[in-house]
Structure 1
């Protein structure tokens, strides 16, 4: 809303006294009529008639009464005007917004009581003072730009800026400014001030909730990301390195479980304070959530400069904390990576690298730090890529089974066959098992491939039987597949898909029996499979390629077969 103008009451006053001008006109008209009538009577040479005198007296009395009524109306109008003026000034002074009028020089010409109250300054002390004297130093440029744009364009201007009260306290206001021309022709700046100090306080509180951890008061993930981006930009400008440290507390879960969340929260706060104290100015320690933290260490001339900081972080995290009658203590595992690197990396990659290094510290015994190994990471990425390719090969049916006959050396008759897996790679050609099976070792994909081999071999046995050929098949089974909890159920389901196959025509050869971690369980699996009619054999090619067919009575008995050549390494 535009500022109120007290001087607009002058026009209202002129309009209110209009009835007085009408009374004067009536008086002059009455006097003129009286004079004319007297002159007319004199010209006629005769005395006015009594009725004329009476008529004139009547007219005069009527006008007298009219004047009295008009004077009363004028008095009432003045009272109404005074009341309106009082209400106007009350509204102007007590309006919820502050009104300030500046002259062309920037001096305060008029100010209402609200503005004076906002500035905690008497109104008399504000008039003829420059408003910019009450603008906070940080916002002087913004206020100057507002005046400049207002005078150059004439368009209303809006700003949020800080004023300084007489007691020195800052006050956030929303300022709307307009320019107008005064009666004397000079321009005036009229400004409306709204108190937004409470709103700004709320904004600061919300900003803190959005960027800081509520428990430890450390920067949270969001602010950490911003600080890390700034640190990386600074490192590129200055040539100074930085380190990203991923921190995970050792033994925190045990304290949280044993002593409760209150103890856990106090431990997190204590550890955060201790680690924060050992960092330098400019470094950032952020809480990622749970018992995980990230430190961003800046201005490192070389990697060695980071070592004392990492050692201090370990020592800070390990400081004991009293809780009731107990003394609680944790340690920390740290993973660190550095920037810049040989190849450009993003902030997220740095975090992943530091996280990987932290897990290496955990595996190495905890309460220590490990540096990210780029070479090991490259190998890990290659492994993940190979794993994806193998998974795609299984989905696209690029694997094939070759069958190596088992021949009776005395008769020359084929007595069975061994199923051997190969990968018909679309670019590299036919690959041996040694080229891809080590990639899936200890991965769930090895079980999927093993089940594909069994299912495919059973289908081949069925196909041969349809052609009148009876040829048992042996299949290699890895220790991981044999030890899965539902191996027997999975094997029974695969046999059920091929009802024409006699389970006795299937022999499962166990690869690397040294990898069997639970011999009693493996023996039970073998016993259950024997109950279905499936035979077992050992294939310890790693210790001499000796093969034993297993029975429930004696796992280490039965026949010996010829070792397979290296060209036909079994799957």
Structure 2
């Protein structure tokens, strides 16, 4: 068989009243096909009649004036155009629409949104099918002239008498079906029937044979071994001189491989390869169907976004194979909690979406989610490891949340993040107020990202001193945002909006690089200070943190690394103290020291002091500021200083705002301080002049008021 696609570009006529759809389809197909475009059924008929008819028609169902069904009917009434394959393109996904289209002679359906790869496969398949049909017609004529065609045809051929009893078959028939002529002579082709097609299918086939003397289409048959195969079949009636039916000739090709390839491509396009459940592409279509169903049934539909808690540590610790087994196990548990009409889709690594139909009220949805959380929390053994996870779930209810599929997913996703923030292993209903807040946060995030690109951030530095010696020994780098519209902004005005994000890490890298730049400038001026930098937990725990820090230090070879000090929050190591300790030890080998910031605000301070290799503790300013008037704060400050002495650590107090604060700290045994009583944070350019003019506070050096 000559491949028409290989010899010349077939012509495809696209009939669609929506310019966007035309543009998308046309652009995707124009490299392989000659594209004609019509924006109405009438224009499509006119183009097909005026020029060389197209080889295939892509026809939109829903069009004004003349819809796709009427257009298809008119094409089929035209003897010149009737055999052109017509593929309906429709957003409808209902059986009655498909039956109506097929009854009018449509060859296939494409469901919006159109998957381009699926469309290419089906278009090529229909073009090949039409080419085969034409060839089969030609072969039918040749059979009456040359018996040799019958014997050597690659396609199966069966000849029956006027009563449809088999009188002859060729070798290809035997090869495909397994039946020799002696096995089935005198029987009807019903011996091949698989049971896949309904009775109406065969009624329509015989109606076409008896009225039009020809039928072609796909039939699923069963061979002698009981295996089902797909056959592209053409059946013709042969009449005698009087016009009476003399016999029937059936010619068919085994297209099982092509059908299986088509099926596999569709599964790849619409289903998750690991778990076998729908992916995001199919999920959107399922939600669209669920919306239509909810509108008709006048009840609720729930879209639930599920994210596993604790999946990443399991995946990292035990390997991806165990992680994959866990995802499969989780999928089965979720499916066990759902009903037949519900949908489960996997849309990310450990992220799933559930679509629950026929929900009467929010309580019914919550009952399903309660069962789901309990089931997922059960421990299991995978690859010899006892593992357990929980889930955070966000959900929204349609039509209470009256919007489209993508927005419903986004709303459920947002609610899921709220569930995580509130402690995990729980579910949260979408709140429109939180949605508006999320949009505002998104705008803020984008503005901060722009500020980093536009070099709007600057570093200020606050000195640290030894009060008794009257000596400045270091400075702390503090970021500020020089916003063109709002002026100089403190960290509290923007850092919370990017907490635990990659943007926070990017800004942390910028701070580190700028601080090293200033540190080198000062050392070249003879100013020997330690610069401390606050490091966010996400930044510190990046897999390549030590490697990148090494590379940054290498850019400043004249620096003494021990002049760099990294400050981490006491609460930063709560979830993975061993990993944090390993990173700190690797940094210390480079000469970099660590300070524990805001000490006293956590709840495992003694554990940290024993495990974490820090050499300085910073007493949080919230305790220092009020210690002169609050006995509890004074007791906390006293206890922290005693701990540092016991464990052999240095201590520095933040928030020293008066001479009296300093004197009290000195009396308690804390000599190092920073705060407004010394100086406020200043730009890097101002620091050398401040250092040259600063005078130690005499009362602190003497230790008396």
Scaled by the length of structure 1, the TM-score of the pair is: 0.53
Instruction: Report the alpha carbon displacement of residue 242 of structure 1 after superposing the two structures with TM.
Output: 2.4
Question: Quick one: which of 199, 210, 218 aligns to 1:137?
Answer: 199
Given the alignment, which residue of 473, 479, 483 partners 2:534?
479
Q: What does residue range 444-455 of structure 1 map to in structure 2 within 5 Å?
A: 444-448=505-509, 450=511, 454=515
Q: Hey, what does 1:112 align to over in structure 2?
A: 168
Counterpart of 1:124 in structure 2 is 186
Looking at structure 1, the residues matched to 196 and 419 of structure 2 have their Cα atoms a distance apart, in angstroms, of 58
Residue pair 1:240, 1:301 contacting (<8 A) in 2 also: yes
Relative distance call for 1:403 and 1:110 in structure 2 (3 A) is closer
Q: Deviations over 1:299-344 (max 9, x none)?
A: 22332220111122233335566899x9967353141322437777
In structure 2, the residue matched to 1:515 is 598
Q: What's the CA shift for 1:135?
A: 7.0
Structure 2 counterparts to residues 431-510 of structure 1, below 5 A: 431-433=488-490, 435-436=493-494, 438-439=496-497, 443-448=504-509, 450=511, 454=515, 479-480=534-535
Structure 1 Cα separation of the partners of residues 326 and 486 of structure 2: 59
Q: Pick from 143, 147, 151 the counterpart of residue 91 of structure 1.
A: 151
Q: Looking at CA atoms only, which structure, 1 or 2, has the larger radius of gyration?
A: 1
Q: Deviations over 1:439-493 (max 9, x none)?
A: 456623543564587589789999xx9xxxx9x9999966337996788996896
Question: Conserved in 1, the CA contact under 8 Å of 2:272 and 2:346?
Answer: yes
* Residue equivalent to 1:44: none
Corresponding residue for residue 335 of structure 1: 393
- Determine the structure 2 residue equivalent to 1:283: 342
Q: Distance in 2 between matches of 1:513 and 1:331?
A: 31
User: Conserved in 2, the CA contact under 8 Å of 1:136 and 1:170?
Assistant: no
Q: What residue is the counterpart of 2:369 in the other structure?
A: 310
Contact 1:139 / 1:162 at 8 angstroms: preserved in 2? no
| TM-score (normalised: structure 2) | 0.45
Using the TM superposition, give the Cα deviation of residue 388 of structure 1 relative to its aligned residue in structure 2, in angstroms.
2.8
Say if 2:534 and 2:567, in contact at 8 Å, map to a contact too.
no
> Which residue of 338, 355, 360 corresponds with 1:301?
360
Seen in structure 2, the aligned counterparts of structure 1 residues 241 and 172 have a Cα distance that, compared at 3 Å, is same
Quickly say closer, same or farther: Cα 1:342–1:438, change in 2 above 3 A: same
Q: CA deviation at 1:392?
A: 1.9
Task: Summarize the Cα distance change of 1:159–1:253 in structure 2 as closer, same or farther, 3 Å threshold.
Answer: same
Conservation of the 8 A alpha-carbon contact between 1:390 and 1:436: yes
User: Do the aligned residues in 2 keep the contact of 1:335 with 1:369 (CA within 8 Å)?
Assistant: yes
* TM alignment of 1:243-258, pairs within 5 A: 243-248=302-307
CA distance in 1 between partners of 2:157 and 2:431 (Å): 64
Q: Deviations over 1:129-169 (max 9, x none)?
A: xx9x9974263476368559956xxxx86421346899999
CA shift digits 1:255-310 (9 cap, x unpaired):
88999999887766665444323322201234557665443212223322201111
Alpha-carbon displacement from aligned partner over 1:52-85 (angstroms, at most 9, x marks no partner): xxxxxxxxxxxxxxxxxxxxxxxxxxxxxxxxxx
CA-to-partner distance for each residue in 1:394-447, whole Å, 9 max, x for gaps? 32234568999xxxxxxxxxxxx9999765545x35243354455456623543
Q: Compute the displacement of 1:356 (Å).
A: 5.4
Q: Which stretch shifts more, 509-518 or 142-151?
A: 509-518
User: Match of 2:140, SS?
Assistant: coil
Deviations 1:215-253 (A, max 9, x none): 765445554454344324434555533223344556778
Which blocks of at least 5 consecutive residues in structure 1 are unaligned?
10-86, 405-416, 498-503, 527-535
- Answer whether contact 2:617 2:652 (CA < 8 A) is retained: no
Structure 1 residues 308-317 or 140-149, which shifts more?
A: 140-149
- Alpha-carbon contact 1:318-1:329 (below 8 Å) kept: no
Q: Does 1:393 align with 2:451?
A: yes
Q: Distance in 2 between matches of 1:559 and 1:270?
A: 54
Separation of aligned partners in 1, 2:674 and 2:142: 114
Q: Does 1:230 align with 2:286?
A: no
Q: Does the CA-based 8 Å contact 1:146-1:157 persist in structure 2?
A: yes
2:264 is matched with: 206
- 8 Å Cα contact 2:653/2:674 also seen in 1: no
Point out where structure 2 has 5 or more consecutive residues left out of the alignment: 1-135, 463-474, 541-545, 570-594, 603-607, 619-649, 687-705
Seen in structure 2, the aligned counterparts of structure 1 residues 376 and 522 have a Cα distance that, compared at 3 Å, is farther
Partner SS for 1:515: strand
Is residue 165–residue 186 contact of structure 2 (8 Å, CA) maintained in 1?
no
Judging changes above 3 Å, is the alpha-carbon distance between structure 1 residues 279 and 157 closer, same or farther for their aligned structure 2 residues? same
Contact 2:477–2:532 (CA under 8 A) maintained in structure 1: no
Name the SS for the 2:302 alignment partner. strand
CA distance in 1, matches of 2:567, 2:356: 55
Q: 1:224 to 1:328 in 2, by over 3 A?
A: farther
Match status 1:379 vs 2:437: yes
Q: Secondary structure at the match of 1:112?
A: strand
Give the distance between the partners of 2:534 and 2:345, measured in 1 at CA: 44
Matches within 5 A, 1:543-554: 544=657
Change (3 A) 1:257 1:223: same
1:174 aligned counterpart, secondary structure: strand
Q: Which residue in the other structure is 2:487 paired with?
A: 430
Q: 1:491 to 1:346 in 2, by over 3 A?
A: farther
1:358, CA displacement in angstroms? 4.7
Q: Partners in 1 of 2:223 and 2:476 — Cα distance? A: 94
**Whole-Å Cα distance in 2 between the matches of residues 316 and 437 of structure 1?**
38
Given the alignment, which residue of 140, 143, 157 partners 1:3? 140
Change (3 A) 1:418 1:235: same
Separation (CA, whole Å) in 1 of partners of 2:166 and 2:300: 58
Deviates more, 1:333-342 or 1:488-497: 488-497
